[in-house]
Structure 1
Amino acid sequence: MINDESKKRKYYQALVNRDSTFDGIFFAAIKTTGVFCHATCPARKPNYENCLFFETAEEALLAGFRPCKRCKPLSFPQGQSPLVQKMVALVEENPEKRWKDSDFSELGVHAATARRQFKKNYNMTFVQYARARRMGIAMKSIRTGEKIINTQIELGYTSSSGFHDAFSKIMGRTPNMSKKMITLYASWIDTPLGPMVSIVDENFLYLLEFADRRGLEREIERLRNRLNASIIPGTTDRSNQIESELNHYFDKGLTLFKTPIMLLGSDFQKSVWKQLLTIRTGETATYKDIAGLIGNPKAVRAIGNANGANQLAIIVPCHRVIQSDGTLGGYGGGVERKKWLLTHEKTAAQCLLK
């Protein structure tokens, strides 16, 4: 998601003016309607505060937005191959479908050909697109918190089974209560760095991630399998608590989160995450530092993997771990977010010292 204020203003003006030179440069997502559009979309223009801007269609899909039916943003660039048009249409007809090579054979298409043509148009493979679309269905439900039947109708399913299948691809259940599973609640949190998703029960926070993070589907799958859990849109005191604390963090530089958390991972991963919790706001540590602190100086690469498996963004501050040469290194939420968080926290820490 684009966070630069001047760029967002520029893109919003292009959206208002329907400036065709910006088609394919950005995608505008409309929070009030749940769709994303091209700059030239003929629909009535939303207010600035209701817009998010993305550089790629995949980012918009993963954040829970669907392609606008009026401007059809996935039909750009013009003159795309009939194969790509057909593939986009097939996903929209059946977004819960998990595509396999055999599915392409039935269409008389080689999987590699489909992958190459889709990648050329959208900078993502067809499988990536289909996965992002599935994820968007779950995110839409979480973001709006609407009743299941309302979501089903809005998504255009003519029968309940289609929506149930799509939802359960992500959340691991059909939207009916199950006595054999525990229930977790997923809610949507808007932040200056883009929307986040929290997953909680009545007592603990289990997951907090940016909605457009690649791999979020796998994280949710690991969580629900480990706990034998069903996940439904909803809130508890814990989700309200973490939303309030995040607002305080972004607005006033909160340095200590008090929301009870549950760390789910291997003993090694937990040892790494507990060390991350000791890194003070405004400070950083290297992967090598963390390896030494847990008594395993050769585990630098494993430290990086444990960071990547962290499911509690910001709360367990893996963004405070950098390379030994001072470069930022990777971050699941994106390097630009990592840079922003470190700068924000450094400023907050300096204010506390005054």
Structure 2
Amino acid sequence: MLELPDPRTLYAALTARDPRYEGRAFVGVTTTGIFCRLTCPARKPRPENCRWFARPQDAQAAGFRPCLRCHPTGLQADAVVARLAARLRAEPERRWSEAELQALGHDPSTIRRAFKRHFGQSFLQMARAERLRNGMRTLTKGAQMIEAQLDAGFDSASGFRAAFARLFGHPPHEWRGAADLRADWIDTPLGGMIAIADDRALHLLEFIDRKALPQGLRRLSGFVGGRIGLGRSPVHDLAEAELRDFFTGRKPVFSVPIQLHGTDFQQQVWQALRQIPAGQTRSYAGLAASIGRPSATRAVARANATNRIALVVPCHRVIGADGTLTGYAGGLWRKERLIAAERAYAGDDGPTGLDGPSGLDGRGLAL
């Protein structure tokens, strides 16, 4: 048994997200049954609800499940990735570069490959997304542009505006006025997502690194007359809570109300996607047949690709006729992990046919 500091010292390290304890101590939260790294960005539990462990396996032996936000078991095999991920969480505003990685003794190409292996994106991409998120949150609170720029870690206002516009499809000053729809950021184990909603329904939910995100935002802006701003509504809160339940294995079905923007045919396809149970897949031809359009396989595939409400409208459950994973704009690595993780919802660990429970391996979401 490895020696741990006293609980008071550990709790102080937890609240400070002290990177010195990375890999040395873990906290189990009795109210949730989940255990985390001490650097986890999640809300901190009360001291009386904490149990402390020297190793992830000790926490698991005590009945705690690994956190899907800080992945206390997923990075143990790669200490360099674990250390840099902890630095990123501790310094989200820092502007990292390849030169800085080299100064720390790392080969940038090696780090890029390692982070893509664990997270599906490079360390520098993750760092840039963190800076943009900080700037977005500052703008949401009504701060001046210069404050948002500094929070995002950019040297100039023009640099921040350009990066913001590339990501969201609008310059940031267009997102601060009165608006019918509000955009906010939601963290998930598979990366950050942008959620756009009003007080009644969710209109868009996309991973932030999707290449077509700016195009999707512009199309949505056209549907609603450009009335999109920054902020949050109760629909955002419900979507975030249901995403958390989905990723922790508590609830496979989303009840958050949605508003679909598309042609009648597209909406028919999207509604059919919502009928595919978690843990099962369909081929494009099978999906076309289910809506009574067996000859419209290609049109169904195009409609599937234009879905703008990821996960809630589960386009990731559609695969190729030969069983291969094809056509997921959020990244095939995400599609593979989603389908594999959803096997738990099917209640059947054995492989079955194409349009039954997925035959992929059960690696889950340990990133």
Opposite residue 289 of structure 1, the aligned amino acid is G
- Answering whether residue 193 of structure 2 is matched by residue 196 of structure 1, we say yes
Pairwise mapping of residues 141-220 of structure 1 onto structure 2 (< 5 A)? 141-142=135-136, 145-149=140-144, 150-155=147-152, 167=164, 170-172=168-170, 174-175=173-174, 178=177, 182-220=179-217
Measure the CA separation in 2 of the matches of 1:220 and 1:242.
Answer: 18
Measure the CA separation in 2 of the matches of 1:232 and 1:8.
Answer: 37
2:182–2:198 contact (8 Å) kept in structure 1 = yes
Q: 1:203 is paired with a residue of what secondary structure?
A: coil
Partner deviation per Cα, 1:136-160 (whole Å, 9 max, x = no partner):
8754433565544221333577886
- Answering whether residue 307 of structure 2 is matched by residue 310 of structure 1, we say yes
Deviation at 1:213, TM superposition (A): 1.5
Measure the CA separation in 2 of the matches of 1:61 and 1:307.
Answer: 30
Q: Which of the residues 342, 349, 352 maps onto 1:345?
A: 342
Measure the CA separation in 2 of the matches of 1:34 and 1:295.
Answer: 51
Partner deviation per Cα, 1:112-138 (whole Å, 9 max, x = no partner):
xxxxxxxxxxxxxxxxxxxxxxx8875
User: Structure 1 215/251 Cα, relative in aligned 2: closer, same or farther at 3 Å?
Assistant: same
1:100 matched to which residue of 2? none
Measure the CA separation in 2 of the matches of 1:62 and 1:225.
Answer: 29
Measure the CA separation in 1 of the matches of 2:77 and 2:230.
Answer: 34
Q: 1:209 is paired with a residue of what secondary structure?
A: strand
Opposite residue 209 of structure 2, the aligned amino acid is D
Measure the CA separation in 2 of the matches of 1:253 and 1:54.
Answer: 28
Pairwise mapping of residues 76-95 of structure 1 onto structure 2 (< 5 A)? none
1:13 matched to which residue of 2? 80
Measure the CA separation in 2 of the matches of 1:291 and 1:29.
Answer: 44
Q: 2:347 is paired with a residue of what secondary structure?
A: helix
Deviation at 1:297, TM superposition (A): 1.6
Deviation at 1:266, TM superposition (A): 1.3
Pairwise mapping of residues 23-102 of structure 1 onto structure 2 (< 5 A)? 29-30=88-89, 32-35=91-94, 36-38=96-98, 39-42=101-104, 53-54=115-116, 65-66=127-128
Measure the CA separation in 2 of the matches of 1:62 and 1:221.
Answer: 23
1:237 matched to which residue of 2? 234
Opposite residue 331 of structure 2, the aligned amino acid is G
2:260 matched to which residue of 1? 263
Deviation at 1:281, TM superposition (A): 1.4
- Answering whether residue 322 of structure 2 is matched by residue 325 of structure 1, we say yes
| Higher-helix-fraction structure | 1
User: Structure 1 200/233 Cα, relative in aligned 2: closer, same or farther at 3 Å?
Assistant: same
Measure the CA separation in 1 of the matches of 2:93 and 2:74.
Answer: 22
2:272 matched to which residue of 1? 275
Measure the CA separation in 1 of the matches of 2:298 and 2:175.
Answer: 42
User: Structure 1 232/275 Cα, relative in aligned 2: closer, same or farther at 3 Å?
Assistant: same
Query: How many residue pairs are counted as aligned between the two chains?
Result: 262
2:294 matched to which residue of 1? 297
User: Which range moved further: 262-271 or 228-237?
Assistant: 228-237
Partner deviation per Cα, 1:251-283 (whole Å, 9 max, x = no partner):
124121111101011111111101101111111
1:198–1:205 contact (8 Å) kept in structure 2 = yes
Measure the CA separation in 1 of the matches of 2:200 and 2:230.
Answer: 16
User: Structure 1 61/270 Cα, relative in aligned 2: closer, same or farther at 3 Å?
Assistant: farther
User: Structure 1 269/62 Cα, relative in aligned 2: closer, same or farther at 3 Å?
Assistant: farther
Q: 2:259 is paired with a residue of what secondary structure?
A: coil
Opposite residue 141 of structure 1, the aligned amino acid is G
Opposite residue 261 of structure 2, the aligned amino acid is L
Identity of aligned residues (%): 33
1:171–1:224 contact (8 Å) kept in structure 2 = no
Deviation at 1:204, TM superposition (A): 0.9
TM-score, normalization: structure 2? Answer: 0.60
Measure the CA separation in 1 of the matches of 2:232 and 2:316.
Answer: 27
Opposite residue 350 of structure 1, the aligned amino acid is G
Which runs of 5 or more residues in structure 1 are unaligned? 19-25, 44-51, 67-134
Alignment root-mean-square deviation, CA: 3.7
Partner deviation per Cα, 1:56-90 (whole Å, 9 max, x = no partner):
99755665x33xxxxxxxxxxxxxxxxxxxxxxxx
2:67 matched to which residue of 1? none
Opposite residue 135 of structure 2, the aligned amino acid is S
TM-score, normalization: structure 1? Answer: 0.62
1:223 matched to which residue of 2? 220
Opposite residue 212 of structure 2, the aligned amino acid is G
Which runs of 5 or more residues in structure 2 are unaligned? 1-69, 106-113, 349-367
Q: 2:180 is paired with a residue of what secondary structure?
A: strand
Deviation at 1:53, TM superposition (A): 3.4
User: Structure 1 301/253 Cα, relative in aligned 2: closer, same or farther at 3 Å?
Assistant: farther
Measure the CA separation in 2 of the matches of 1:12 and 1:223.
Answer: 42
User: Structure 1 318/153 Cα, relative in aligned 2: closer, same or farther at 3 Å?
Assistant: same
Q: 1:53 is paired with a residue of what secondary structure?
A: helix
